[in-house]
Structures are given as structure tokens and as C-alpha cells.
Structure 1
Amino acid sequence: MDPLSLTASIIAVLQLSTKVLEYLNDVKDASKDRTQCALETSNLYNLLFNLRAQVEEGDATKEWYTALRALAVENGPLDQFKEALETLQARMTDGGRLKKAGDILMWKFKKEEMVSILGRIERLKTLVEIALQRDHFKLSRAIKTDTEAIKSDLDSVRTRGDNAEHRRLLQWISSTDYPAQQSDIIKRRQEGTGQWFLAAPQVARWLSEPQATLFCSGIPGAGKTILAAIAIDHLFDHLLKSMQSSSHGVAYVYCNYKAREEQDTSQMLAAILKQLVQARPSLVGPVELLHKQHADRGTRPSPDEVFSALRDVLARYSTVYIVIDALDECQDSDGTRRQFLTKLRDLQVGRDVRLMATSRFIPEIVDWFNQALKLEVQASKEDVKRFVAGQICRLPKCIQRNSALQEIVQEKIVEAVDGMFLLARLHTDSLLDKRTVKDVKSTLAKLSKGSAALDHAYKEAIQRIEGQLSGDYELAKKVLSWITYAKRPLTTTEMCCALAVEPDEADLDTENIPDVEDLLSVCAGLVVVDQESAVIRLVHYTTQEYFDRIRDAWDPGAQLYIASTCLTYLSLSIFKTGSCSSNQEFEERLQESQFLDYAAKHWGEHAVTVEDQICELACSFLSHKELVSCAAQVLSRPKYTYQGYSQAYPKDSTGLHLTARFGLPIVLEALLLNQVRETALVLERRDSYGQTLLYLAAGHGHQRMVKLLLDKGADVNAQGGRYGNALHAASVRGHETIVKLLLEAGADVNAQSGRYGNDNALQAASYEGHETI
């Protein structure tokens, strides 16, 4: 490399640094990440400027200059810094281009990304500082050490990290995006809160002691999730400020009562594995191996297989912190929580894995952590006061203009909440419609306290909703009903599409789609939107519990409305072309019709509660072959994609098959009325997977449907389907009552077939651990 080439490389980086520094100074964000990034980039700019002067004045024949050239080799330290700058520029300016004059630059980086970017900056800064000492031996040694340290990760970033195949692998192992949730949660933190937690001696011990476990319990609404996010944020801040980013790992799971079916042991372990591999792309090998073993067969790794892969990745880290929030929201009816905790404890054996968990006071969870460091979570008075002070800008002008009244608001709410952040939020929201000082003081005087305070605050919120204009009240009821009855979290797009559906209309009118801000404004603070994940949800788990108690009385027609909406949407004219013939066509359909995934997968779960009322609409949908084909394809959509995945669904699936799949005996009877002479043939009709109606009903645990089909003469020993027959399917999935029904109807207990080779139902039940069966 000639002197001009080295100088040109430095100048190119200096020019890009200047541009990025302009963006960093203009960005609308006061975050510590942005400030630190600007500071480090500026420091490195000054060092590089000095280095450029020495290079231009130096002698290219000298050994120092020869050593210096290694900074500018392809994929070397200068290239690494340039790549980091380009990433910063692209993310802040939409690919390096300002969209329009006047557009505001936004900070869109997660902590995990900043660890990588600042790590590259720090490495080059260290090398340039050494270069300026003009000691060519020391410089050569430092560059060689740095090159060896980053080579494997650099190769991986080049060949995998920026590669669609690498992203596809990580999406395959886990579709969860907990970093997006982390960003959403930490944005809601009031600046300065949580310092008592970080200063606690238990936290200090957890951060410093190998294999330490910290258990943080607290009452509902105490702020456990925010503190988990603060802990995670603190860990990444620590890595950003140290040179340990490559040897120390951070991973976390946010348990969610709405996502229980998607949070089994395998998937939670896989989410941890995904995060650790994302941080160090060179460690993707164990994930690649699992993909080779399962992807082509359409199977998923078992908990033990994911555990083994995770253990292999952990071996490449010196220390890993794992944070699990809201363990009480992780289902335990099937043993998931116990199995997951056991696996986490096993990961600590022989490795420096430091575990932190939060939960309500659930006896079995508390007992599990009896040997752990313990810290009770309770919102401090100082934190609550800071939180309320931060909400003043949302409150009516009579409060904003009166500093004395602001002090009263803060004092009264702090006094009332007794350590519950959630109650502070609800009490603050109760002031939103108070327009005079008298009204404000009157409301403050009546703030609920004690154990019943939450219910009272929710009741008052409902009263505010009911006191709105009739259109706003009806909209709020629909929004709250959708969220509380939904079988999984809904995005804002899904919610708005659902609300736009009109009865008896064959097309979705885009002019009927509501604005998200309006949905929030009519719900009296009970509904929030997570910006990163675009999920619309209730403000807290306790809000769901409250609505579980009152929703049948408050909105008795909710399930009928939801089921009708799903069926009306599935019957839209755009779906009458049937299923899609390629992955691309299928993905375009899902992108253009974003409520289709939810409606196809969950309509039957809503319909089962109002089956007699929804029967006519359901029959209309189920009698249309193309509509059924469209829905069946979406219903079979896997969590990960692969070549031809969209065609892996049961062809020849009929409306009767969907009825059996969801367990709708009233609808089945109505459909059979039109085929009374062919009932025997219909009962034995198979889809392309060989699944009969009885097989589907048994495998999915629908007792009433199984009994109806048996009474109508369905062949209890009919062969077909992934597991071979109905008894085998029910045994594998642990449906004890259905196994009894099938045996009483003459099912052959020794029939051999299905997924487990030439095994029988007893062996399948044993393999899956269903002891009673």
C-alpha cells in the first residue's frame, strides 16, 4: 500500500465521521447511547486527524509506516470503523438520505447494536493511540492481537451477519423479538427512577458473583417489569463502557400471559440462544446444526436439543447474564415453568451464568428461589414522585400552570399508591378530564387506597369510558373486548383492520379504518401501544384480570362480535381465489391482509362460545371451497419459513375438517343436514394428510365433537394422519378423557403406526410423558 492509499483511507473515514457527527448532534434524542456515540466518534476523529498529519509528514520507508499500513487493509480496523459509521448514517437517515427537508432524525438503535458499534470504535481508538506513540513493535503486536481477536466475528459478520441466510437461521430458531420489547419498556421509564434498585447490595452481589441468582418478587403493579428492563439496560451500559462485550453476554425473556402457548420451554430457551448468537455471529454453528436436522423434515428441536445448543454457545462466553421477567405469567399447568427453571439451573452448572427473575408472590416460585439472593420490589416514594412529575405535561392546563397544585398532585398520589407504580399511573390518568382546581382537589381527596385500590381505580376508568359520547364509548368497548378476549397479542394494524370490518360487506373499506391515537384516547388510559413491536395491549396484567371478572356483564355480546368479525373477514371477496401457489404470493397476501393470520387461526376458538348464534355465518363460510382452502393454508402457516413452506398444508381440507379441528359440533350438524345421504362417506373423508374428522377432533382435544362423531358411526380405528390414528393422536397430546372415549368405542390399543414408527399408543404416551394415559 502506497502512502497515498493509506492517507486516502484516513481522509475517507474523517469525511464520513464529520457527516455522522452532524447527524448525531441533530438527532432528536437525549439518550446516553447517542451522547456516548457522539463523544467517542469525536475523540477518534481527533486522533485520526493527528495520525493523518504524521503520515503525510512521515517517511514511507520507515518500519513505523510499514506497521501502520495494517490499519487500512481490507476488513481491517479502519474498515470496521467505516462500517460502523455507515450503519449509524443509514439508520438515522433512511439509508443515508434525508427523506424531506424538515424531517426529524430519530435514534433507532437498541443497546445490543450499540455494544457492537462502540466496540469497533474503541478497538480503532486504542490502535490509533498506540500508532501515535510511533513504536512500530508495539503497534504491530497490537494490530496482530486485535486482528486475531476479531477475525472470526468479522468473517461471520461479512458472511453471515449481513446475510439473509444468517437472519433466516435466527428467525427459524426463534421468531420472538424481546429486544423490541426491551426498547418499548425502557422508553417508558421515567428518567432517574430505579436507582435504589441498582444501588441495592443484592444487585451488586448478583453483578459480581459467579453463578449468582437474584430473585425479585413484588405485589402486582410494583414496577417489576420496569426494574427488569433497568437491569438489562444497566448490563448493556456496562458492556458499552468496557472491553468485555465479546466475552460477556446478556439475554432475557419477557413472559406474557397473552403468549403462553408460544412460550414453552423450547421457545424460551431458543430465544435466549438467538440473542447470544446475534451478539456474536461466529457462534451460529449449533443453530446451523439444528436447522439441518429439522428444517427439511418440518420438525422443531426438542427442549433437550435447544438446551444442548445453548450450552455449546455459552461455553464461548466467560459470563452470561440471563433475566427472566414475570415468571408468574409463564404457564405451569403443563409443567412448562418448572421445566424451564430446571433447564436454567442446569445451565449454571460449570458455567458463569447469572440469573435474575421477577415474579409476584407465588408460593411455588418463591420456594424455587429459596437459596437465591432476594430483593423485594416496591416503588419508592422518590420514584413515584418523579413519575408523577414527569406526567404533568399530559395533565390539564389548570395543573400545568399552577406549581403549588402540582406539588399537591404529587404528594397526594404518592401517599395513595403505597408502592404501586401502576396505581400511580391510573390515579394520574383520573385527572385527565378535570378542568378546574376544585375538580382536581376533589378527585385527589377521593383517591382509593389499600388492597382494593386497583379494582376501584379500574372501576372509575370504566365509568369515565361510559361517560363519553356514545360513539367513543362503543369504540372503547370494541377495543377493550378485542384485547381481553384475543388469543394472542394483536398489533395495531390487526386491531384497526378488525375494527374496519362491516357486517354483510364483501370488501374491506379502507375509509373505515380508525386512527390508532383515537383508540387510545377513548380507553381512559387502560390501553397502550408498544412502539417497537406495534402491539396494542392493556396497561397491565391486573387489567386483564379485572376484565376477566367483569367483561361478561359489561359487554355480553363481545364474543359474538369477535367471532362474526373473524368469519366476515375470512369471507371477503379477495380470498375467493383460494389458496396461494407460491411462497411469494402467500407472503404478499399476508402483507396486504394483515388480519388474515389471526382470523384464520383463531375464529373457531371464539365461535365455540357462541356456536348456536354464529352457526349460519359459519356455515356460509365453510361451504365455500376456495375460502376454506385459503383459511386452511394460513392455519398451517409455520413460525419459520423454508423453501415451499406455504404449500405444506392439508390440501382437500373441507369445511367439515375445519369444524372438527376447532370442535364445533352444532356447526357440524348443520353442515351434515345438507349431506344426510352421504354421512358415512363424509365421516371417513380424508384431507391430503390422511386426516379424518375424528382424527382432527381427537388430536385437538374436542370431547363433544369426538362423542358426536362416534355416535354417528365414525370408524374409531381409521388409519391416517401424522400420528396414524385418532387414539395415537389423542395419546401423544395428552387428552385423557378422549382416550377413554376412544377405548370405550373399541379403539385398537395395539395398533402400530404414526410418527414414532411402528409404535403403539402406549409407547407414544410414554415418550411424551403422559403418565395417566
Structure 2
Amino acid sequence: MALLVLYRSLAIVQPRKSIRIDGQSGGADRIFISPDPLGSGGSGTKRSRDEQGSDIGERENTRIQDIRKWIGAPDPSTNFVAACNKMTEGTGLWLVNDVNFEEWKNQGGLFWLQGKAGSGKTFLCTTAITTLKDFGKSFGKPVFYFYFDSLDSSGSKTKYEGLVASLLSQIGTHSRYDHTDVESLYKDNEQGHTKAPAHAMKTTIQDTLKKCPKTQATYIFLDAMDECRTDNQFQVKNLIQDLLTLQNIHIFVTSRHSSLGLEEEIQAELLEKADGQIRWVDCQLTSLQELGTKKAIQKALKTLPKTIEDIYAYALDKIPEEHRDEAECLLQWILFSYRPLKIKNAAEVLAIDLEKQEVNNYRDDLSESNLHKIISSTIIVIAGGEYDEKNVQLAHPSVKEFLIRSKSGHSNKIYHKVKVESVEMAHEKFPLTWYAVHYWARHVEKVEDLDGKMTKLVMTLLKFENNFLNRILCWDKPNHYASKCISSETSDSALYHTCARRMGVGVIVRLLVDAGADVNAQLKGGEFGNAEFGNALQAAAAAYGENKGIVKLLVDAGADVNAQGGKFGNALEAAAAAYRGNEGIVKLLMDAGADVNAQGG
């Protein structure tokens, strides 16, 4: 005897309607149960010529077989046939004749059958599949199914990946459905030479079903969901919920009562201890999903961390020793980078060898799953960014607060010194070059107390060794390979260009001045050069943004406020001509003796 539960909402754990139907196995019309799963579309099942359609050529058939072989889905027909062979005639007809089943068959939605172990749920599911297949042949309504099986030797029938692979193999290659999406996935994975991840297979299933005509009903049967791995059941339920948002979808699920009971146990425990903290609940669910057995989940429920801080501390403690340096490096970048860290650049970050001061030639494949092997999804998540590129970011603002407060980020003293021989090589082998060029000075500025090592690093960067920095500083110019970039290799040109940068560079200017840079050095250049402002003071006065501190530093160091040259003629004209006018700088220059009547450029 099984308990029949008919759901009409997406809230799987809160059914609208619960009906117990007493055992009605006898007295029903005879039903023929065929052991041949025609039309299932499953891997290894043979379709009839009529079902495939006479217009499908041999070449396309071969292509479809190649795609099915590539997907490599577990074959659910073996479970179907095994159940058919054990059943007697008339088994389960009371279910398919029930008004609730008939309503679901015609209207769609979710039909969830629950019962104790050994109550015949698999036989009832198999009867329903057979009935719908006969119905589908007459009215053109495809039927797909999957049996979770804890006795499966390969283990694939206990996993979410096995389910989506099977459904993709059945739905994506069925003669009544568009094959475009599954063929596209096949091509995207090097014509079947690489495996597709589960999320990509799920998306392909959804995209294929979205292309169905509104009148095209799709029936999906999932038997014994309680035999799915515990840590995969959330994904299965999410798949069910997402599929139910599509039109004309009919989903039939069977499971034991205990599966739902565990979910209710989790719900009750979390609600009792949450104290209104949604983030705390979210973190606990993420952690519980990583556990593989009911026993482990129940044990974890008894030892839940009491606060969000405890959760974060536990997640950091769980980072494997082999990944701790990588995790620290990634967290530093995520915490303090002025730009979001793209997932493709995360590999570049980890390729930096600080001990050897070079970029490794190899790159690890940092997929989303691999990143979460380094740092838990409680701490970081992968989110969409600009131009469909994915970014690695902190899972919640509270994570940043925790890391900063606990000094896990080790302050803003982040630096990566890398030996690079040319701009071309840097850009090809080290895509973070652009970020380094534009933001390194801002990171230095954030350091409150430069130690000897940091000072030495900054001065090394400013030496124009091998003319590298000279060229890299011109990188953002339209003609960054032009020969008209400044050619001097002295600290004077470094001072000039540093002042011209449109970012806070006070610390660097101070270091250069202390190192003996000439604050009154006049540099030549023009529209296509990199010394259009003539001298450091004019460059600082003209720069967009509030550069008053740098201008004052130069004036205090003896810069001539009336020095002539460059695009604007003098610093006062440069400040006045700046975007929106640098009024504070104008006043500072006038107080320092700037001649308001001096001829401009």
C-alpha cells in the first residue's frame, strides 16, 4: 500500500493535496505490460522505425548514435525490464485508473507517490510508464524515465549527473524534439572528445523543451528518488522545480517517506536555531548538501555552528593544507582587487611563483568545481560578470567583514613581483598585466607603512629596467608601441609620468623625490608622446581627480610654480583647464606664488 501525494505547486515539501488510497490491486481490467521500452530514448534502447520517422537519414541516425555514445548515460531500460518481468498482470491498475492520476495526465504538474520500503512503488511507477507509453504512441506524447538504483554497480544511477545525462540522451535525441541544442553541446565539447558538465546538460534539456510546441506534452518519470545520493537530492529537486516552470510538463516521482522526513527534520532544526538570520540558514544548507549520507546529516544537525562567524571560521579551517597558500592568494585578490577577479584570471593569479619571481608556464584548469575544492562555496561563489564572463567573488558581504576583522586578508600589503622581459610577452603570458599597469600604484598608496621590502619593490619598478616600464606606462595610449614614448631612463621621467597618472600616487611621488628626482625637470613630448605637460608639477595639476596632495608635495620639494613649457604653458593654466577645474590646486599654486598673468600654452 502506498501513500499517493499529488503536488500542484513548486514547494515540493509542502503539498497542497495529500490522498491515501487503500490497496486496490484486484478487479481491474487486464493490462499488457511490454518488456520492450520502445520510445524511451534512453541510452542503449532501440527505437522503432516509425518513432524515429522515415525522413531521418542514415547519416543523421549515425550522428544521433554518436551523441548518445558520447553522453554515456546509464541505461534505465534495464530497471524497467526487470520490473516488468517481476510483475503480474493487472499490477497497479488501480493507480492509473484513479481520478488524481487522470487529472495529472491531462493537466500536468507534479505527481509524487510516497510509500514505505517494499510497498510496490517501483511496480506502480512501471505500470504508469507503460500506460503513458501506450497513450503516447496514440497521441504523440513522448515518455521519458529514470530509475534511481542504489544497487547499481557503476554508481551512476545514484547520482544527479546520471539523471541529467539519461534525460539528455532521451529528450535531446528524440525524434519529436529539436536536436539543435544537444548537437551544439556536442560541438562545444570538441565533437565529443570532452565530457559536458551536469549544469550544461541541464541547460540543454531545458532549452530543448522550451522549443516544443505548446500542444506537445512531455512525461518524465523518476523512480526511487530516496536512492539518489543524499548530497545530490537538492540538485534533483531543483531540476524538478525548474522543469515544472516550462509548459506542458508532467513529472511523476516516487520515494520513501523517510526522504521527506529528513527534509522536514532539517527544516525544523534550522528554523529553531536561525534566530532570523537568513544567511546563517543558507550557509548551513550549503554545508549539509556536501554530506553524503542521512547519518552524517543528522550528526551535523546536532553540532551546527552557532554564529555566521563560526561557520566562516569552520569553512576556512576545512581548506586542505595543500590548498592553503592558493586559498590565501585568491582571497587576497578578491578582497583587495579594484576590479572583479574573472574566473579565467584566477588561474593566472595562482600561476605566479613568488619565490622564483616568475609566472609559471602551466595553468591549472580552474573550473567552478575545482575552485570550490580550494575554497568552500560558503566563502566564495561564481557569478556572472560583464560580457558573459564569470567572476569569482565573496559569497556575501558578511564574509568580507569577517575576513577583514579576523585579519585573514593580511592587510593591504599585497604585492606580486614578476620578472617579465617584454610587454608583448607580458600581455600574452600574463593577462593580469593590464590590471597591474593601471592599479599597482593604488595598492601601494593603500599601504599605511611601507616596509623596506615594499619600498625596494616600488623603486625597482620605477627604474625603467630594460626600458620595460617605460613601454608599459605607455600601454594605455592609442599608439602604445610607438617610438615617441618617453625614452629617458631616469627617475625624472618616472616622477613626471607618476604625477600624470590619474590615480592616487602620493606615496610613490614621495619615494621618487626622496630618491633625488628633479621636480623641475622639463621633458619633451607631444600629442603622441607621454610628456605633453612638460614637467611633473603641470602633469599633477592637470590630472583628472583631486591631486592637491601631490601638487603640495612637489611645491614643498621646490617645484617652480611658474615654470614654462608643455601643453598648457604652466601649472596654473593646467589646473584651470582641468575637467571641472581643480579649484583647490589653483588656490594652492597662487598661494605659492604662481603668476596669474603668466602667458599660457
**Which of 581, 599, 605 pairs up with 2:436?**
599
**Which of 508, 533, 542 pairs up with 2:359?**
508
SS, match of residue 699 in structure 1:
coil
CA distance in 1, matches of 2:520, 2:238: 66
CA distance in 2, matches of 1:718, 1:23: 75
Question: Are the equivalent residues in 1 in contact too, given 2:445–2:505 (CA < 8 A)?
Answer: yes
State whether structure 2 residue 232 is matched by structure 1 residue 409. Answer: no
CA distance in 2, matches of 1:31, 1:718: 73
CA distance in 1, matches of 2:308, 2:548: 41
Matching residue of 1:98: 192
Question: Are the equivalent residues in 2 in contact too, given 1:476–1:519 (CA < 8 A)?
Answer: no
Q: CA deviation at 1:554?
A: 3.8
Q: Which stretch of structure 1 is more off in the superposition, 611-620 or 678-687?
A: 678-687
Matching residue of 1:713: 559
Q: How many residues align?
A: 407
Q: CA deviation at 1:492?
A: 3.5
Provide Cα deviations, 1:421-473, integer angstroms capped at 9, x if missing partner.
6433311345589899998657535657xxxx8xx313432244247666654
CA distance in 1, matches of 2:293, 2:401: 33
Matching residue of 1:490: 341
Shift of the 437–494 alpha-carbon distance from structure 1 to 2, 3 Å rule, reads same
CA distance in 2, matches of 1:743, 1:189: 71
**Which of 391, 412, 421 pairs up with 1:574?**
421
Matching residue of 1:681: 521
**Which of 455, 471, 480 pairs up with 2:331?**
480
Question: Are the equivalent residues in 1 in contact too, given 2:496–2:539 (CA < 8 A)?
Answer: yes
CA distance in 2, matches of 1:669, 1:695: 17
CA distance in 2, matches of 1:683, 1:624: 16
Matching residue of 1:444: 301
Shift of the 19–441 alpha-carbon distance from structure 1 to 2, 3 Å rule, reads closer
SS, match of residue 535 in structure 1:
strand
Matching residue of 1:521: 373
Question: Are the equivalent residues in 2 in contact too, given 1:487–1:602 (CA < 8 A)?
Answer: yes
Matching residue of 1:612: 450
SS, match of residue 487 in structure 1:
coil
CA distance in 2, matches of 1:12, 1:650: 67
The code of the aligned residue for 2:588 comes to L
CA distance in 1, matches of 2:177, 2:285: 46
State whether structure 2 residue 464 is matched by structure 1 residue 624. Answer: yes
Provide Cα deviations, 1:716-745, integer angstroms capped at 9, x if missing partner.
68665699953146434x766445434544
Question: Are the equivalent residues in 2 in contact too, given 1:608–1:664 (CA < 8 A)?
Answer: yes
- When the two chains are superposed, the root-mean-square deviation of aligned CA atoms in Å is 5.6
Matching residue of 2:574: 726
The code of the aligned residue for 2:494 comes to G
Question: Are the equivalent residues in 1 in contact too, given 2:348–2:432 (CA < 8 A)?
Answer: yes
Q: CA deviation at 1:490?
A: 1.0
Matching residue of 2:400: 544
Question: Are the equivalent residues in 2 in contact too, given 1:491–1:534 (CA < 8 A)?
Answer: yes
The code of the aligned residue for 2:473 comes to A
Provide Cα deviations, 1:65-84, integer angstroms capped at 9, x if missing partner.
xxxxxxxxxxxxxxxxxxx9
Q: CA deviation at 1:497?
A: 2.8
CA distance in 2, matches of 1:471, 1:592: 25
The code of the aligned residue for 1:574 comes to E
State whether structure 2 residue 269 is matched by structure 1 residue 457. Answer: no
Q: CA deviation at 1:35?
A: 9.3
Matching residue of 2:494: 655
Q: CA deviation at 1:688?
A: 2.9
Shift of the 106–403 alpha-carbon distance from structure 1 to 2, 3 Å rule, reads closer
CA distance in 1, matches of 2:294, 2:166: 38
Shift of the 118–706 alpha-carbon distance from structure 1 to 2, 3 Å rule, reads same
The code of the aligned residue for 1:559 comes to N
Q: CA deviation at 1:619?
A: 0.6
Matching residue of 1:499: 350
Question: Are the equivalent residues in 2 in contact too, given 1:657–1:696 (CA < 8 A)?
Answer: yes
SS, match of residue 529 in structure 1:
strand
Provide Cα deviations, 1:601-660, integer angstroms capped at 9, x if missing partner.
2111111122622221111111025221343244x17xxxxxx76548982184324532
The code of the aligned residue for 1:703 comes to K
Q: CA deviation at 1:574?
A: 2.8
CA distance in 1, matches of 2:496, 2:237: 49
TM-score by length of structure 2 reads 0.52
Shift of the 469–33 alpha-carbon distance from structure 1 to 2, 3 Å rule, reads closer
The code of the aligned residue for 1:523 comes to I
SS, match of residue 680 in structure 1:
coil
Shift of the 106–617 alpha-carbon distance from structure 1 to 2, 3 Å rule, reads same
Question: Are the equivalent residues in 2 in contact too, given 1:730–1:739 (CA < 8 A)?
Answer: no
Q: CA deviation at 1:707?
A: 1.3
Q: Which stretch of structure 1 is more off in the superposition, 88-97 or 656-665?
A: 88-97
Question: Are the equivalent residues in 2 in contact too, given 1:657–1:693 (CA < 8 A)?
Answer: yes
The code of the aligned residue for 1:481 comes to Q
Question: Are the equivalent residues in 2 in contact too, given 1:92–1:105 (CA < 8 A)?
Answer: no
Shift of the 685–38 alpha-carbon distance from structure 1 to 2, 3 Å rule, reads closer
Shift of the 89–406 alpha-carbon distance from structure 1 to 2, 3 Å rule, reads closer
Q: CA deviation at 1:527?
A: 1.4
CA distance in 2, matches of 1:432, 1:88: 29
Q: CA deviation at 1:708?
A: 1.0
Q: CA deviation at 1:43?
A: 3.9
Gap runs ≥5 in structure 1: 1-9, 46-83, 123-186, 199-233, 242-400, 581-587, 638-643, 755-773
CA distance in 2, matches of 1:682, 1:720: 8
CA distance in 1, matches of 2:183, 2:554: 63
Shift of the 189–533 alpha-carbon distance from structure 1 to 2, 3 Å rule, reads farther
- Among all aligned residue pairs of Structure 1 and Structure 2, give the percentage whose two residues are the same amino acid: 19
Matching residue of 1:312: none
Gap runs ≥5 in structure 2: 1-52, 74-160, 214-234, 249-257, 488-492
Shift of the 684–94 alpha-carbon distance from structure 1 to 2, 3 Å rule, reads closer
Question: Are the equivalent residues in 1 in contact too, given 2:394–2:400 (CA < 8 A)?
Answer: yes
CA distance in 1, matches of 2:310, 2:590: 50
Query: Which structure's CA Rg is the greater one?
Result: 2
Provide Cα deviations, 1:398-420, integer angstroms capped at 9, x if missing partner.
xxx99865642343225545786
CA distance in 1, matches of 2:67, 2:292: 40
CA distance in 2, matches of 1:744, 1:418: 60
The code of the aligned residue for 2:574 comes to A
Shift of the 751–446 alpha-carbon distance from structure 1 to 2, 3 Å rule, reads farther
SS, match of residue 443 in structure 2:
helix
Shift of the 684–509 alpha-carbon distance from structure 1 to 2, 3 Å rule, reads same
CA distance in 2, matches of 1:484, 1:673: 31
Question: Are the equivalent residues in 2 in contact too, given 1:690–1:720 (CA < 8 A)?
Answer: yes
Whichever structure has more helix as a proportion of its residues is: 1
Q: CA deviation at 1:481?
A: 2.1
The code of the aligned residue for 2:486 comes to D
Question: Are the equivalent residues in 2 in contact too, given 1:93–1:99 (CA < 8 A)?
Answer: no
CA distance in 2, matches of 1:11, 1:669: 81
CA distance in 2, matches of 1:116, 1:722: 63
Matching residue of 1:227: none
- Which runs of structure 2 are paired with 1:133-172 in the superposition (5 Å)? none
**Which of 529, 537, 544 pairs up with 1:699?**
544
Q: CA deviation at 1:746?
A: 5.9
CA distance in 1, matches of 2:598, 2:552: 21
CA distance in 2, matches of 1:188, 1:649: 61
CA distance in 2, matches of 1:90, 1:646: 40
TM-score by length of structure 1 reads 0.42
Matching residue of 2:238: 190
SS, match of residue 713 in structure 1:
coil
CA distance in 2, matches of 1:744, 1:457: 54
- Which runs of structure 2 are paired with 1:162-241 in the superposition (5 Å)? 190-191=238-239
